């Protein structure tokens, strides 16, 4: 077993070599010669062999690329009438899947340090689930001296920055009170995620894009392992694109895959980062805020699967990611968008790192790529490997240590719609047994 330290060292070494000439490929058509061999190689794009993957994961992913991409369809993909068409689809989560560390946190941290959060008319209006305790805490910490719609001085008012970040990160106030209460479908949304774009209400998408671009430049310039202060919170200061994931996305695109990002972050924030891996705004799906008549972000988000616009009831989160993929990629609308589709209307490859990704990654028909962050439900399914297509990889930079106790798959591994915890079930209804952590 390759150790986490060795894997991280190989990854960082490989990242510095990305500009070097690519090695010759020895794909499934290596026996061909001359013009035919050149044409065949062009139809079989290869993952970069200089980039370290765990075990035989690169080979597993390459097989999916070869079998589902242009290597097996050298004349291209005919378009079907309706739906997505014949091209295979790959979809990836963003935070800690394509990048190391959270781009939403990076944007919020920058915005708080530069006084970019506007004072709302009332904090309760920002989220339908915000508690009175959270409203009181925010009002006390942020004050009422700033006019409504004007920037809060979060760079100097530490208590205000603290309350905002604690509620976003932990769904609690600094004094430990619950920040959200009420009823919501816990497999379709989580209030603290939906609250992030709501915090930027009053700004235009272009303004949020500008803040994100500045936060991105700052985070990419910070050394790996560096930290920053947000109020009194200490969080990572750096973000890095994983070289392996950039290469995987590029190779999938060259092989004819239609490649998407599906994130539970704010769409303008995600689009800034996804563009650098060759994924445009049309292929970036995240929380979509409705705009007012002046083109400013509101606290209302678009719905999915026949659900109306709301204060965040149906964001791309757990089962919500499936809905948004079905609706936006495969053109399936109404209640059916929440259901698992036939193989022709499912993604070929899915990549994620957390329980918020478990449904759409599990829907993939070719490979389920998981970066191990010790999250119960997705790791239960990955280690159970019911269909033999799960691909587990440690995080490429600063991987987590091994989880010493077993994943509680048979008892509390799954989040239910009402927020309770239950056993993780296979498609046939059988219970997945507890799993040991072996890939780290």
What percent of the chain shows pLDDT beyond 90?
Answer: 87
pLDDT at 74: 83
Which uninterrupted H or E stretch holds 234? strand 233-236
- Angle formed by the axes of helices 191-199 and 158-170, nearest 10°: 140
Q: Residue 381: how many CB atoms within 10 A of its CB? A: 28
Q: What average pLDDT does the segment 78-103 reach?
A: 83
Name the burial class of residue 282, with classes exposed (0-12), middle (13-18) and buried (19+) by CB atoms within 10 angstroms of its CB: exposed
Is 142:120 a contact under the CB 8 Å cutoff? Answer: no
Q: Compute φ and ψ for 96, nearest 5 degrees.
A: 65, 15
Distances (CA, A) of 120 to 56, 167, 313, 416: 52, 16, 21, 33
Round to the nearest angstrom and report the end-to-end CA distance of the chain.
Answer: 9
Q: How confident is the model at residue 128 (pLDDT cuts 50, 70, 90)?
A: very high
Nearest to 22 by CA among 60, 49, 55: 49
Q: How confident is the model at residue 79 (pLDDT cuts 50, 70, 90)?
A: low
Name residue, tokens 């001085």.
Answer: 153
Q: Answer yes or no: is pLDDT of 425 > 80.
A: yes
pLDDT at 84: 59
pLDDT tens column, 321-353 = 999 999 999 999 999 999 999 999 999 999 999
Name the burial class of residue 175, with classes exposed (0-12), middle (13-18) and buried (19+) by CB atoms within 10 angstroms of its CB: exposed
DSSP single-letter state for residue 177: -
Contacts with 419 (C-beta within 8 Å, 6 or more apart), sequence order? 186
Q: Is 149 left (phi over 0), alpha (psi -120 to 50) or beta?
A: left
Q: Answer yes or no: is pLDDT of 83 > 90.
A: no
Q: How confident is the model at residue 7 (pLDDT cuts 50, 70, 90)?
A: very low
- Angle formed by the axes of helices 4-16 and 243-254, nearest 10°: 60
Q: Answer yes or no: is pLDDT of 15 > 60.
A: no
Q: How confident is the model at residue 76 (pLDDT cuts 50, 70, 90)?
A: confident
Q: Answer yes or no: is pLDDT of 8 > 80.
A: no
Q: Residue 428: how many CB atoms within 10 A of its CB? A: 6
- What does the alpha-carbon distance between residue 217 and residue 60 come to, in Å, rounded to a whole number? 34
Is 432:424 a contact under the CB 8 Å cutoff? Answer: yes
Judged by average pLDDT, the poorest of 15-29, 99-113, 120-134, 189-203 is: 15-29
Query: How high is the mean pLDDT of the chain?
Result: 91
Q: Answer yes or no: is pLDDT of 173 > 80.
A: yes
Q: What average pLDDT does the segment 214-230 reach?
A: 98
pLDDT tens column, 296-313 = 999 999 999 999 999 999
Judged by average pLDDT, the poorest of 7-16, 42-51, 379-388, 398-407 is: 7-16
Q: Is 325 left (phi over 0), alpha (psi -120 to 50) or beta?
A: alpha
Domains of the chain, residue spans: 89-102+241-422, 103-236
- For domain 89-102+241-422, the CATH class is alpha beta
- What does the alpha-carbon distance between residue 68 and residue 427 come to, in Å, rounded to a whole number? 24
Contacts with 374 (C-beta within 8 Å, 6 or more apart), sequence order? 400, 403, 437
- What does the alpha-carbon distance between residue 357 and residue 318 come to, in Å, rounded to a whole number? 6
pLDDT at 25: 34
Q: What average pLDDT does the segment 36-51 reach?
A: 76
pLDDT at 33: 42
What percent of the chain shows pLDDT beyond 70?
Answer: 89
Read off the tokens for 272: 């800034």
Q: How confident is the model at residue 73 (pLDDT cuts 50, 70, 90)?
A: confident
- Global pTM value: 0.89
- What does the alpha-carbon distance between residue 309 and residue 304 come to, in Å, rounded to a whole number? 8
pLDDT at 77: 80
Nearest to 115 by CA among 168, 161, 166: 161
pLDDT tens column, 18-35 = 333 333 333 333 333 445
């Amino acid at each position: 077993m390759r150790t986490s330290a060795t894997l991280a060292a190989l990854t960082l070494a490989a990242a510095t070599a990305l500009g070097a000439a690519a090695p010759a490929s020895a794909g499934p058509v290596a026996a061909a010669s001359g013009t035919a061999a050149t044409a065949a190689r062009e139809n079989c794009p290869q993952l970069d062999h200089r980039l370290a993957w765990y075990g035989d994961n690169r080979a597993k992913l390459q097989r999916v690329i070869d079998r589902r991409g242009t290597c097996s369809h050298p004349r291209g993909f005919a378009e079907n009438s309706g739906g997505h068409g014949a091209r295979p689809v790959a979809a990836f989560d963003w935070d800690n899947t394509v990048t190391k560390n959270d781009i939403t946190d990076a944007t919020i941290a920058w915005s708080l340090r530069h006084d970019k959060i506007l004072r709302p008319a009332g904090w309760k209006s920002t989220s339908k689930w915000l508690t009175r305790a959270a409203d009181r805490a925010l009002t006390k910490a942020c004050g009422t001296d700033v006019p409504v719609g004007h920037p809060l001085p979060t760079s100097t008012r530490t208590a205000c920055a603290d309350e905002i970040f604690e509620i976003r990160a932990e769904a609690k106030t600094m004094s430990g009170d619950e920040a959200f209460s009420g009823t919501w479908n816990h497999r379709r949304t989580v209030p603290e995620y939906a609250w992030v774009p709501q915090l930027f209400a009053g700004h235009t998408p272009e303004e949020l894009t500008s803040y994100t671009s500045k936060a991105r430049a700052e985070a990419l310039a910070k050394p790996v392992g560096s930290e920053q202060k947000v109020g009194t919170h200490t969080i990572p200061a750096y973000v890095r694109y994983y070289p392996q994931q950039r290469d995987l996305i590029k190779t999938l695109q060259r092989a004819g895959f239609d490649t998407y990002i599906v994130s539970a972050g704010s769409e303008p924030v995600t689009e800034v980062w996804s563009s650098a891996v060759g994924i445009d705004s049309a292929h970036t799906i995240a929380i979509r805020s409705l705009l007012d008549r002046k083109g400013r972000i509101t606290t209302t988000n678009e719905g999915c699967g026949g659900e109306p616009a709301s204060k965040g009831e149906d964001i791309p989160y757990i089962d919500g990611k499936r809905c948004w993929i079905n609706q936006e990629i495969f053109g399936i609308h109404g209640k059916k968008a929440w259901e698992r589709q036939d193989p022709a209307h499912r993604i070929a490859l899915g990549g994620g790192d957390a329980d918020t990704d478990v449904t759409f990654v599990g829907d993939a028909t070719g490979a389920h790529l998981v970066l191990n962050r010790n999250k119960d439900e997705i790791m239960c399914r990955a280690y159970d490997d019911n269909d033999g297509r799960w691909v587990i990889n440690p995080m490429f930079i600063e991987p987590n240590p091994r989880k010493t106790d077993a994943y509680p798959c048979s008892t509390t591994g799954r989040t239910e719609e009402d927020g309770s915890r239950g056993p993780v079930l296979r498609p046939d209804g059988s219970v997945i047994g507890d799993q040991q952590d072996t890939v780290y």
